[in-house]
Amino acid sequence: MTRPTMTESQLQASILDLARTHRLLAFHVRDSRKSVGVGFPDLVLAGVGGVLFRELKNATLQPTPEQMAWLGTLDAGGADAALWRPEHWYSGEVAATLARLAKPRMQLPPEVAK
């Protein structure tokens, strides 16, 4: 079965709709080329389970060197930063990631945390 073609805009709209369903905070960078942070990821999503940064691309477009520099630097610094394409939506990866983001991280019991 062939999946329908999903544009970057459609992917973004789908992710933001699901983020709202999970009551996550979402910030979309409209065009980082017009700011000091050229290449900054398209989305920042935050919930009680953490924060993530995502660059969005359609099935064929490649990220720019500046976008890859942001993702690499954020990842190296310990942030959850990655590229999402329509395949990540269709595979369920996006839904699973946003569901985890909406849940609190497991906290250690006080006797273990000492």
**CATH 3.40.1350.10 for domain 8-103:** yes
Mean pLDDT, the chain, as a whole number? 89
Q: Average pLDDT for residues 63-86, to the nearest whole number? A: 97
Stated length of the chain: 114
Closest CA to 94 of 48, 29, 43: 43
Closest CA to 69 of 30, 36, 29, 40: 40
Query: Is pLDDT at 112 greater than 60 in this prediction?
Result: no
Query: Is pLDDT at 29 greater than 50 in this prediction?
Result: yes
Q: Average pLDDT for residues 52-65, to the nearest whole number? A: 96
| Site of tokens 């993530």 | 52
Collapsing DSSP to helix, strand or coil, 102 comes out as coil
Q: Average pLDDT for residues 46-74, to the nearest whole number? A: 96
**Predicted model pTM:** 0.84
Q: Is residue 23 a contact partner of residue 51, using CB atoms and an 8 Å limit?
A: no
- At 101, is the pLDDT very low, low, confident or very high (cuts 50, 70, 90)? very high
Token code pair at residue 43: 């989305």
